[in-house]
A = this chain, B = another copy of it.
Amino acid sequence: MAALRAFESAQRAGAKIPEIVAYEKQDDWGGQWNYDWRSGTDKYGEPVHSSMYRNLWSNGPKEALEFAEYTFDEHFGRPISSYPPREVLWDYIDGRVRKSKVKDKVQFSTAVRWVDYDRDQDIFTVTVENLRSGKTTSSEFDRIIVATGHFSFPNVPEFEGIDSFPGTVQHAHDFRGAEKLADQRVLLIGASYSAEDIGVQAFKMGARSVTMSYRTGPMGYDWPDGIEELPLVDRFEGQTVHFTDGETREFDSVILCTGYLHKYPFLPGELALYSPNNIYPASLYRGVVWQKNPKVYYLGAQDQWFTFNMFDAQAWYVRDLILGRAALPSAEQRAAHMRQWRDRFQELDGDADDVRFQAEYIRDLIDATDYPMFDLDEVVRIFLAWKQEKKENIITYRDKSHPSVITGTMATTHHTTWLQELDDSLERYLSTPERSEVEAIVVGTEPDAEKDEAATQE
């Protein structure tokens, strides 16, 4: 969507743009924000793209991801809160492009099967399948933009004995809602965003206990009673899990929050990015140009503090390369540039450094394009405030408000707190419930925050 918008933006300003075809295997756009109730494979038998779950709310302030050229104010016509639920965010990203003609450029329900690069002719042949008809066709292209993201193919490590764990085992990618975890003893393996958010969702929905297992170190939040962190799982024995510190617990459900793989099954090995999930993957000049073939671009291949606005900055820069507005340095110059940034990347020490690095990375891209510059330092400040608020209270940080760095508008305090709100719909979000109605919801559904029933210990 960012790439389509980037070209549209140039076209509106009078530029001649090349023929563009976007292939999308889902029936609609929105990527991760396009919720599918199915897990595993979708209605066409393709691996489900989205890792979205029903109850997901943004886990970072919307002010850190706001498009510089399409604000929340412009979309909603009034201030909203800082942490909207998924439907609200989908509406925002859809709203930017729904009225334009760029949707005509997208072939939906179409899976890319294979991309072949002919070195002699310097051309890509892209073979796709129309998932509705089963028909396969091939077309030639001069450039390829890989915009699939890299949070779709789960990383699912092995644990001794997990093959006979009698409860539910799934990866966070296949998690669709936390209601079913009510009264369950839940094990989350992982210590990053998936574990953190599914953990508090499970708490919100009344899980009997939530245990999170870390490999490197605990997240260390001031968890409410009922949530705990333990080191890595050593082995499963039936329902019992042994941890490396000798502790044991019994569980009903296990959710593997073990991250995702960079996986591009439609690309030949020499064009496919292979990297751990980090903010400066190797072999991508300016984070977007595939060094071994600079007619291949990746958007959003980084680990992400910044998201939508970073994708925009990348898309605008790639567009300018393709339009010839930006000059592509030589392979040696690109390598030197990447070495310089990799060196900086390897010096980073902690999250605050990471956020600042990513801000500088975006600044460098925007400086090279006509994407509206925005106050990146202020976004860094918002990220640091967000981190602090999470540290102070992991259950209430979503009730805080932040100012837009584009419009200056201060976010509203939402009508219902995250913990108390059980209706995640757009309609509910934009409604103005009576005070009595909000209170009724609170009384009727409040999780028992006082309970101190720890996980069963042996």
Contacts and interface: CB of A to CB of B under 8 A. Distances in A.
A157 B46 CA distance: 14
Nearest to A35: B163
Q: Which of A46, A153, A156 has the most CB of B within 10 A?
A: A156
A156 B38 contact: yes
A320 interface: no
A43 B154 CA distance: 8
A41 B43 contact: no
A153 B41 CA distance: 7
Contact of A127 (B114, B163, B180): B114
A344 interface: no
Contacts of A48: 40
Contact of A263 (B39, B45, B170, B263): B45
Nearest to A253: B180
A394 interface: no
A154 B41 CA distance: 7
A321 to B, nearest CB: 26
Contacts of A173: 40-41
Nearest to A271: B136
A171 B40 contact: yes
Number of copies: 2
Contact of A114 (B113, B164, B272): B113
A268 interface: yes
Contact of A40 (B35, B39, B113, B177): B39
Contacts of A174: 39-40
Interface in A250-289: 252, 261, 263, 265-266, 268-270, 272, 274
A165 B176 CA distance: 10
A269 B179 contact: no
Contacts of A274: 134
Contacts of A47: 40-41, 45, 47
Contact of A179 (B35, B127, B166): B166
B45 A154 contact: yes
B167 A129 contact: no
A162 interface: yes
Nearest to A135: B269
Contacts of A265: 45-46, 111, 113, 129
Contacts of A263: 45
A158 interface: yes
A261 B169 CA distance: 25
A249 to B, nearest CB: 17
Contacts of A164: 37, 54, 177
Contacts of A163: 35, 37, 54
A35 B162 CA distance: 13
A179 B111 CA distance: 37
A373 B187 CA distance: 54
Contacts of A162: 37
A168 interface: yes
B269 A169 contact: no
8 contacts: A40-B170, A40-B171, A54-B164, A113-B113, A113-B265, A114-B114, A166-B179, A169-B176
8 pairs of A and B residues whose beta carbons are closest in the complex = A166-B179, A45-B153, A40-B40, A37-B163, A114-B114, A136-B269, A45-B263, A136-B268
Given A39-B40, A40-B47, A46-B265, 5 more contacts: A39-B169, A41-B153, A45-B261, A134-B269, A168-B168
